[in-house]
Amino acid sequence: MMRFLNNRLTFALVLTALVSGPVQADSRIGAAPLANVQLADPDQEKAAKHLMETIRCLVCQGQSIADSDAELAGDMRSLIRERIQKGEKPEAIRSWLIERYGDWVVYAPPARGSALALWLLPLLLLGVGGLVARGRIRRRSR
Amino acid sequence: MRKILLWAPLMVFALLAGVLLRGLQSPESGTVPSKMVGRAAPDFVLPAAVPSHPGLARADLARGKPVLVNIFASWCVPCIAEMPVLLALKRQGVEIHGIAIRDKPEDVAAFLRDHGDPYARIGSDVSSQVQISFGSSGVPESFVIDGSGKIRLQHIGDIQQDDVPEILAALKAAQ
């Protein structure tokens, strides 16, 4: 550990990582009604939870709103539960959010635009790998 | 040819490493722009945030005159910073409506008393639902809305003196 800390650059980097990050003030209002309260209907709750896990938190980036303690994430959870409770389909709510924040807001972004590469590249690389493997196996069996 | 092929994986790796390192060095800006710009403002009705001002509804944004909607909160420090600029805009005749996020009436009243009051109406958005429907992800944010209720511009963060020309231009274009 001392050796590690002796490296001043590393130390500075670690320190930056510890103290930086978005500065967020919190309000004096408690959590939204359904931010942390499960729906009575287990099927509805399951659908809501499933959707929350696919929505990116807007202010904590890198967490889903299901995992985040940010107030805005709680407000979004409440919004999702309220709408599911009213009978809205998860897919409709998901589209509603994409309409507002773009594909950015969902994990597993739809395969269009630059995200298309994200979906196609693994398949392409798998194909290349398969060809290479086939060549090797053929050569060896010769 | 074979020699080049031998080096190909290393080159691909170097390229990928380069791209990823660059990404690490310039992290995301942290702001998510609203996709609602260019579209009609969402439908909403918000109760008054303070007794001294009426609440705010979508109908108030489509009265034929462009307005500035300022999303703010009493607990938000940059909101204090932009207040002198908002007051200056109001003096120039800009109609400004506020949406107070997660706020209590007494806190909003104290905020207006301490830092100034540029608002014609202030709606209270206690659980950020209207903020979300605008595609806004923080405070402060401001939206220029034209007389038909269409969103023309989103400004993320506090409005600084340097931003005033852009805001005024958008308001003028929205006439």
Can you say whether the dihedral through the CA atoms of B155, B159, B160, B166 is positive or negative? Answer: positive
**Sequence-separated contacts (24+) of B168-172 with Cβ below 8 Å:** B168/B89, B168/B92, B168/B94, B170/B144, B171/B66, B171/B68, B171/B94, B171/B144
Q: Which residue has tokens 């709103």?
A: A65
Instruction: Say yes or no for a CB contact (<8 Å) between B30 and A22.
Output: yes
B89: closest CA of chain A, how far (Å) = 26
Count other Cβ atoms within 10 Å, centred on residue A22.
Answer: 10
pLDDT tens for each residue of B54-103: 999 999 999 999 999 999 999 999 999 999 999 999 999 999 999 999 99
B104: closest CA of chain A, how far (Å) = 7
Residue spans per domain, chain B: 45-173
CA atoms within 13 A on the CB side of B125: 28
Contact of B146 with chain A, judged by CB distance below 8 Å, is answered with no
Instruction: Say yes or no for a CB contact (<8 Å) between A101 and B137.
Output: yes
Q: How many domains does chain A have?
A: 2
Indicate whether A71 and A141 sit together in one domain. no
Residue A13 has pLDDT above 50, yes or no: no
Q: Rounded distance, CA B141 to CA B139, Å?
A: 5
Indicate whether A78 and A9 sit together in one domain. yes
Q: Rounded distance, CA A70 to CA A76, Å?
A: 10
Which of B25, B167, B55, B58 is CA-nearest to residue B119?
B55
Q: Rounded distance, CA A45 to CA A48, Å?
A: 5
pLDDT tens for each residue of B37-61: 999 999 999 999 999 999 999 999 9
Instruction: Say yes or no for a CB contact (<8 Å) between B35 and A26.
Output: no
A22 phi, psi to nearest 5 deg: -65, 135
Indicate whether A125 and A102 sit together in one domain. no
Q: What is the pLDDT of residue A7?
A: 54
CATH class of B45-173: alpha beta
DSSP B113-149: HHH---EEEEEEETTSHHHHHTT--SSSEEEEE-TTS
Indicate whether A59 and A85 sit together in one domain. yes
Indicate whether A103 and A122 sit together in one domain. no
Indicate whether A92 and A142 sit together in one domain. no
H-state helical runs in B52-104: 77-91
- pTM given for the model: 0.80
Q: Rounded distance, CA A3 to CA B170, Å?
A: 57
Indicate whether A87 and A120 sit together in one domain. no
Q: What is the pLDDT of residue A110?
A: 78
Closest CB to A104 among B32, B77, B104: B32
Contact of B101 with chain A, judged by CB distance below 8 Å, is answered with yes
B60: closest CA of chain A, how far (Å) = 21
Indicate whether A34 and A46 sit together in one domain. yes
Q: Which residue has tokens 């994990």?
A: A107
Instruction: Say yes or no for a CB contact (<8 Å) between B30 and A71.
Output: no
The domain in which residue A116 lies consists of 111-142
**Interface probe with B: pick from A72, A79, A81, A96, most Cβ of B within 10 Å:** A72
Closest CB to B28 among A61, A71, A98: A61
Indicate whether A81 and A140 sit together in one domain. no
B66: closest CA of chain A, how far (Å) = 21
Cα distances (angstroms) measured from residue A20 to each of A17, A24, A73, B99? 6, 11, 20, 29
B31: closest CA of chain A, how far (Å) = 8
Contact of B78 with chain A, judged by CB distance below 8 Å, is answered with no
Contact of B148 with chain A, judged by CB distance below 8 Å, is answered with no
Indicate whether A74 and A131 sit together in one domain. no
Indicate whether A74 and A125 sit together in one domain. no
Is the model more confident about A4 or about A102?
A: A102
B88 phi, psi to nearest 5 deg: -65, -40
Indicate whether A121 and A80 sit together in one domain. no
Q: Rounded distance, CA B168 to CA B175, Å?
A: 11
Q: Rounded distance, CA B162 to CA B140, Å?
A: 16
Q: Rounded distance, CA B101 to CA B108, Å?
A: 10
Neighbouring residues of A39: CB distance < 8 A, sequence distance ≥ 6: A45, A48, A81, A84, A85
Please report which confidence band the pLDDT of residue A72 belongs to, taking 50, 70 and 90 as the band edges.
very high
Amino acid letter, residue B96: I
CATH of the domain at A39: 1.10.8.640
Strands B119-125, B67-72: parallel, antiparallel or unpaired by DSSP?
unpaired
Q: What is the pLDDT of residue A108?
A: 82
Average pLDDT, chain B: 94
